[in-house]
Structure 1
Amino acid sequence: MDHLTALWARLRLTPQRQAAVDAGAVLTVGLLVLAFGFGGMMTDVGWVSVPQWWHAVLLLAGCALMLVKFRAPGVVLLAGAVVFAADLLIGGSIGVMLVLIDLIYTLALVGSATALRRLISMVAVTVGLLTILGWLLLQGPRGAVFLGLQSFAVLGTPLWWGRSVRQQRELAELAQVRAEDHIHLAQLRHEETARDEREQMARDLHDAVAGHLSAIALRTEAALVADPAPAERETLSSVRSFSLEALTEMRTMIELLRGTEPQRAPSRLSDRAARERLVGEHGATISCPDLPALSTSVDQTGYRILQEALTNATKHGQGPAAITVTLEEGTLRIEVSNAVAQVVPAPDGGAHQHLPPHQGSGLGLAIMTERARAVGGELSAGPHEDRWRVLTQLPVSTAGPGQEGR
């Protein structure tokens, strides 16, 4: 049974297929009824005497109309009513009556609202007139009830059925629209919440972190004006440079959080000046070819990973870090390595001791790994030949027009 239901659904997959299947089914039933000799089923004797095969001709005409019932249901129903009236004159047949029932149902289901109102009025008037006609012809209420119920069964039942299915379909469509509206409202609320959170983060960064960075820059500048010792001047200059750079980056981040176009684009690995400035601030050495214009995501990710790796090397490593950047076979490879332990003689003159490096929280490595994975790359960090190495491999795609960033 399930297989038959699935086959029937596939056969009626489109409106054109549905019309063809319905027409074929009505034609088959109508011809079988005629073949068994049930020709004039509406009246015993037709008002026009013609051969019985005329029922088959009118049935074929009605089924041909059913093939285009979805294109112009109103016009097709009028033509079907003419065919039904002609068939009724020669005695009527079950097949042509099924054609009329199907066309009424189709108009009630897919017709315009105006056409549906007109159909309801016409059916009501027709059923009323036939009821009165039954009273007059059969001379009594029994004839009126009989002909009224018979006409309502033929005309009113498909109209009621089609209208009911139409209403259920409209209710389902309204429910779907309402569900989509709820989803849209939920998305708007989510976006509004995220926007409020970004605004709050921007305010916090501006009021707290940016304020502290500004204070550091001002105090170090004041200390530099006081003519400190050369060693102190170098340290204070580095602190002031770092604080100003961090303040600039912070302002860019605040503008991005507020949804405005930043006046300064984030630093990029392909920017030679920014790359050399970063390496010089940490006293590292770098081997890097001239990089082409990379995609913005990979370019900025590479710079941020290099920045975090150098920060970790400065905090936890020993001696200057060595950086090697290569670009080959569609992969950007960034390697940052530094010594992780200082070798000192043992107090008793015995074997050398390796002082362990300062242990961090591991948050920096987690952030670098997430950045690499976000652009489809990978990152590994750990001991390598008596040094600590951070190795990053990022997939490279040449930046298209308008993607290089500012």
Structure 2
Amino acid sequence: MAENEGELAESTTVVVIGAGPAGLTVANLLRRSGVDCVVLERRSREHVAQRQRAGIVETRAVRMFDSWGLADRVLGGVPHDGILEFRVDGESHFVFDGDGSDGPAAQLCPQQVLVQKLTVHYLADGGDLRFEAADVSLHDLSRERPTVRYRAPDGTLHALTCAFVAGCDGEHGISRASVPAGALTAHTFDQGIGWLTVLADAPPPAHPLLAVSPQGFAAHFPRGPRSSRYYLQCPPDDHPDAWPDTRVWDALRTRLGDPALASGPITDREIFRLRSLVHDPMQYGRLFLVGDAAHIVSPMGGKGMNLALYDADVLARAVRDFVHDHDDTGLRAYSRRCLRRVWNDQEFSHWLTRTVHDAGDDTDAGPFLGHLARARLDRLFSSQAAAGAFAELMTGLDPETNSVGSRKP
């Protein structure tokens, strides 16, 4: 595309769109590989640093960062002891969700902490990160040298030519929207379930907690030493205003089977639908989709952010091999390799979602499916083999290597 008058022309190897966990991981790994890149983020640094989402970096992802020599620099979370509590009708069952192998374990690391540390390390390493990049547009993606245009905060127009574009800007970003209609196939599934998610300044649980009761599903997760994230099953078309503080705490105490549950100031609440989305392939020309730009997974099982980190690792290795060794094997296999992992985690998330919801609230599932879900839970609590399979999936098994470890870069 011809250069526009008054436009500042620049060149780099990779333009990364989005400075969330996916984009910043891609950028940091590329820097470690000696590949130059520029990260564009439409929001301010302050906004990005405070976005609160996922809270567990699974074992495979921790070991991925460790293999790059970055775990100590960018995680800094609290090691997860591998214990997950299921509370069924007030009765507690503890399941070990670690694989029992040597090496770094999962970490309780809120997304905003990971993003902040990734940002600091990338900038300290000399990385080029540009916040408040407006009017981003992608051009010539099917050609050898695509162009990414944007407007800087001072109004200056920039045109970045590159070899590759990493689309890490989420489901509603410009990256996937730039792919021509019909080039990707979207696979979607709506669970028909809503969650009220609540962030509160309240004591975290001793272990991540999933609760099943006739009143519906609930969960309690740590988000820091004095902060908790709660989830309450609700109709998908419900509204947060229908959940004043008193109703929230009453429902949590009932569903969690804890009448003495300590409350605290609620700092955020919203309702979202549990749904899944996969785009195939995860690539168009020189554009590679990473994380939520390519797939959305139901939050049950904590796979969303971890899948994004997996995509980032695969892409960074592929670009490194191409740039340094002229080997395009990894680039050609990127979508296939990532999608194998995506569908594996989608299946696990779907299984766990249906199990804990069908087992508790049989008004939608019906008594037959409710009894089946209870049987699955009973097997999980009583069978060592079933518990082992569950732990393997929670840990983050790599379907290509049948292990949770990562290769050294």
- TM-score band w.r.t. shorter chain: under 0.3
Higher strand share: 2
Specify the structure having the higher radius of gyration (Cα).
Answer: 1
